[in-house]
Amino acid sequence: MVLHFLIQGRVQGVGFRWYVHREASELDLCGWVRNTEDGEVEVVASGTAEDLTELRASLRRGPRGSRVDRLIEHYLDEREAAGLSSFRIDGAW
């Protein structure tokens, strides 16, 4: 199962990407997280339905200092998972 999430709110400059990386890695998910130019955080994750449900709950919670106003999600075609490897942060310097 592959899900795409877009998280809106106070989600940049608060360690959100690192938080998502830790949570997703603990769940053994494949995929990535990155900031968008619009001030949102984007996540693509592949794993079991149960693990993705846990990730969803973590995304709604967010790290200390963040505020999640909206969580948009949609399913991606299973073929999208083919290019995914261990969870990573895109665009981290």
Is 17 annotated in the active site? yes
**Domains, the chain, ordered by start:** 2-77 (3.30.70.100)
pLDDT value of residue 92: 60
pLDDT in 10s for each residue of the chain, 93 residues:
999 999 999 999 999 999 999 999 999 999 999 999 999 999 999 999 999 999 999 999 999 999 999 999 999 998 988 889 999 999 865
pLDDT value of residue 91: 80
pLDDT value of residue 69: 98
CA-CA distances (angstroms) from residue 24 to 31, 37, 57? 8, 23, 11
- C-alpha to C-alpha distance for 47 and 27, rounded to whole angstroms: 8
Q: Is 0.85 surpassed by the pTM of this model?
A: yes
Is 34 annotated in the active site? no
Which residue is catalytic, options 10, 22, 34, 35?
A: 35
